[in-house]
Amino acid sequence: MLRLDDLLIFVQTAEAGSFSAAARQMDLTPSLASSCIQRLERELDARLFVRSTRRLRLSEDGERYLPHARSILAAVEGGQHVLAQERREISGTLRLSAPSDFGRNVLAPWLDEFQQSHPGLSLHLRISDQNADFFQQSLDAVIRYGVLADSGLVSLPLAPGNLRTLCAAPAYLERFGTPQTPDDLRQHNCLRYVMGEVTHERWSFQLPDGAQTVTVTGNRVSDDADVVRRWAVAGLGLIYKSRLDVFADLEAGRLVEIFPTTYGEPAPLQLVSSHRTAVTPALQKLREFLQSCCQDRVPAPLV
């Protein structure tokens, strides 16, 4: 069985050009260094050095084996570094902003679990459906749906395959019927939300024969997406929301998906940072954790 110490002495000797020089670098005696090389040669059944009274040089087998020995040592060192990084406790403060519905009902419980694993971490969470300002609000990251438009920011995907899904409470569907096509939405009460000054009332669907957009109407509008979802659960109308937001309601039967999930409009979830230097180890660990949390809630695309 190969010993890492022997490999290290072999590499050091090859680079130093003598047993004595390698031994000095490793605080060993020349005889011990020579013994380690002899043991390695027996294990490999190969002669690694050509020895003479005046000089020491690598043999042909030694020349061929040297890059592999270096690669083995580098792999071991890399593995030790990864484990050390994993064991290193993250600490400090993470200041985050998230959309209202996702932040309150999905993200908050996930953050509880994340903080239990990293008790040295302090979390500051802002809940808002409005655009966040990194600098005025001193944010480390913003969690948002959609594709990043500002190239000056850094986007770390959390759920790139997430889609919007059309759904309603069973009570609503029993009373008013289930839409069969996007055109049928014109005859239904569609619950809408406002972001900024824009009301999201043009609902797009990716149908087999192409995209279709329908302008919907309804008797309730809010600038808080969580409120809109609660209206739908109460049986007051249809909603068209991120599947991540309504996953728990679908699992519990409080809401029912109406069209196949693959017809939904893309709604990728991003973790957005102001600059690459702002992506700290704590933020990277949070990103990996949230990615794993999102994985089972996003349906696999049809092939």
CA distances (Å), 19 to each of 6, 36, 217, 271, in order?
Answer: 12, 10, 84, 53
Q: pLDDT tens for residues 216-274?
A: 999 999 999 999 999 999 999 999 999 999 999 999 999 999 988 778 999 999 999 87
Of the candidate ranges 26-30, 192-196, 273-277, the one whose mean pLDDT is the lowest? 273-277
CATH node for 4-87: 1.10.10.10
In the three-class reduction of DSSP (H, G, I as helix; E, B as strand; rest coil), residue 202 is classed as: strand
pTM value?
Answer: 0.67
> What is the pLDDT, as a whole number, of residue 88?
62
230-234-236 Cα angle (round to 5): 100
Residue, of 59 and 88, whose pLDDT is higher: 59
pLDDT exceeds cutoff 60 at 130: yes
Q: pLDDT tens for residues 166-176?
A: 999 999 999 99
Domain boundaries, the chain: 4-87, 92-159+269-295, 164-263
Q: What is the mean pLDDT of residues 76-91?
A: 71
275-276-282 Cα angle (round to 5): 105
Q: How high does pLDDT run on average in the chain? A: 88
Residues 6+ apart with CB under 8 A from 128: 97, 99, 100
By DSSP bridging, strand 121-127 and strand 92-98 are parallel
CA–CA distance, 87 with 82 (Å, rounded to integer): 9
Radius of gyration of the chain (CA): 30
| Same topology between domain 4-87 and domain 92-159+269-295 | no
- Please give the distance of CA 237 from its chain centroid, rounded to a whole number: 34
pLDDT band at 303 (very low <50, low <70, confident <90, very high): very low
Give the tokens for residue 276.
């690459």
In the three-class reduction of DSSP (H, G, I as helix; E, B as strand; rest coil), residue 99 is classed as: coil
> What is the pLDDT, as a whole number, of residue 301?
47
Class of 92-159+269-295 per CATH? alpha beta
CA distances (Å), 122 to each of 24, 110, 142, in order?
Answer: 48, 14, 16
State which CATH number among 3.30.420.10, 3.40.190.290, 3.30.2350.10, 3.90.25.10 fits the domain covering 164-263.
Answer: 3.40.190.290
